[in-house]
A and B are shown apart, each in its own frame.
Chain A
């Protein structure tokens, strides 16, 4: 094959790379400038909510996107993270930030036996086990009044003093969420390019085959789940510190877990920024629907329709759909086209060979 090297990518800063770095810087700038651009504290608080969703969805994607194990019950880890943080402050008098970290570590430990039990089953069974966990936790936290505050809820002490006013609270928590989101994205990125990531993606594609090639599938799945639970718990804990109040009904709700899945699917589970994009779209839509239609269930109908549309027209999510659309537009050598060219060339070569024979 004389032209075999034509398929290898050019080294050095390619236009795509420049575009990617430019996009990253633009994204960082938007996030950093948002608090000063936000017209009022309400918009800023919506920004915090959206970043919180982005943290949760990106954390969910550490297990969902890599392994293809769809957990609908990730609210278990965010809820436990929130309660662990609050209870460590209230009952042990721990510093709030230390409580956040210790709480997330505890949740990661809890995720180990949960993973050992639930990662043995695939597909629908895994989904159901993940839902069951949330429901069990909801009931437990509702009934255990003496420890969790029960269905009356639990007030979480503010980490900042009373002299820090609401708008400034929002601004600080906005940046704290941005930092946590960056850490979660960085972790996803590091795993994605590692041997561990290769093994995890192989599990998503064909678990038996991965195992036959020497991938220790169970250990890898558990690693992904525990890492995901840790970041999800940090997300839940940070949200609790900001919001200041926990109620089992909302903390351990199937809906929260479903949002994480919807956001990731919408943006694209194979893309680093897929869940973030999904969180911005869904988070914004939910807030708009809530403010327009108040306490109705209209936002649920809307998100349901959105999910249906995505699954129908962009099953891989927005980012892959847009990327492949742009690739086609640019007429640049997309992977499919290269292989098609190769095939055409091979065919031509063969015909020439046969003609000369």
Chain B
């Protein structure tokens, strides 16, 4: 399966005089765990934001499952099947853990939207997802009261509530303890085995090399290498970008 679930052509985005993303053409592999790595400031998060519609790119296109999604509003991209987490983890602090997950149920139609958010079907599914990530015992707590690691798991549960085919995670292992990193990695593997595609930005090399099927290396806003973890690890350009030799 290498049809490319998310494909970009010449994607470009500048801030002031800085080209954060500079003509990036990338084809991620559908059905696989893709990793996006690169030194700090290499444009990974900006690239993420362009793909998910948070930022409108200056030039280039983003295609998803064969459809041009460039410049669509984030909620439309979410509805097209791309879910995402945020760097440094973002939850709704004053909503309960359960409500945080229920927010992601936003079907079409005014009547559907005026339905109670706590209808049994949605609540049951939300609880299932909370149980899956292991924080169902906290469902009535406000999200600001749970730990950072638990917030990361909550964010993942919220993303899953939208049932996305492709999940983009921005530094899922950032700032969490090693035991939780393992748990998150296991969850990613499980979800991938169920057919979900992952695109993960991550600095934890051990995690990236152990988890991913396909690695894309970014430097100065564009991909400089891609392939299996083994291939990428030995690429001289990658070593140069990372070590500056």
Q: Is the CB of A214 within 8 A of B140?
A: no
Neighbouring A residues of B107 by C-beta, 8 Å: 195
How many positions in chain A have a CB within 8 Å of any CB in the partner chain? 37
Neighbouring B residues of A339 by C-beta, 8 Å: 138, 141, 145-146
Nearest-CB residue, chain A, relative to B99: A198
Mostly, the A contact residues are helix
Could you tell me the distance between the alpha carbons of A212 and B100 in the complex, rounded to whole angstroms?
13
B199 interface residue (CB < 8 Å to A): no
A194 interface residue (CB < 8 Å to B): yes
| Size class of the B contact interface (CB-based, 8 Å) | 35 or more
B132 interface residue (CB < 8 Å to A): no
Could you tell me the distance between the alpha carbons of A206 and B73 in the complex, rounded to whole angstroms?
16
Residues in B73-108 with C-beta less than 8 Å from chain A: 73-75, 78-79, 83-84, 86, 90-96, 99, 102-107
Q: Is the CB of A199 within 8 A of B116?
A: no
Nearest-CB residue, chain B, relative to A209: B90
Interface flags for A37-65 (1: CB within 8 Å of B; 0: not) read 00000000000000000000000000000
A205 interface residue (CB < 8 Å to B): yes
A1-B137, A205-B92 are contacts. A199–B52 as well, Cβ < 8 Å? no
Interface flags for B133-174 (1: CB within 8 Å of A; 0: not) read 000111111100110000000000011011000000000000
Could you tell me the distance between the alpha carbons of A194 and B102 in the complex, rounded to whole angstroms?
10
Q: Is the CB of A7 within 8 A of B137?
A: yes
Distance in angstroms from A88 CB to nearest chain B CB is 28
Q: Pick the residue among A3, A193, A202 that contacts B95 (CB under 8 A).
A: A202
Interface flags for A178-205 (1: CB within 8 Å of B; 0: not) read 0000000000001101111111011011
Distance in angstroms from A328 CB to nearest chain B CB is 15
Nearest-CB residue, chain B, relative to A210: B103
Neighbouring B residues of A217 by C-beta, 8 Å: 75
Neighbouring A residues of B90 by C-beta, 8 Å: 206, 208-209
Nearest-CB residue, chain A, relative to B89: A209
Known: A199-B103, A209-B86. 8 other contacts (CB 8 A): A194-B117, A198-B99, A205-B93, A211-B78, A212-B86, A215-B75, A339-B138, A339-B141
Q: List 9 A-B contacts (CB under 8 A).
A: A194-B116, A195-B116, A198-B102, A199-B106, A201-B103, A202-B103, A206-B90, A213-B78, A218-B73
What residues of chain B have their CB less than 8 Å away from a CB belonging to chain A? 52-54, 73-75, 78-79, 83-84, 86, 90-96, 99, 102-107, 112-118, 136-142, 145-146, 158-159, 161-162
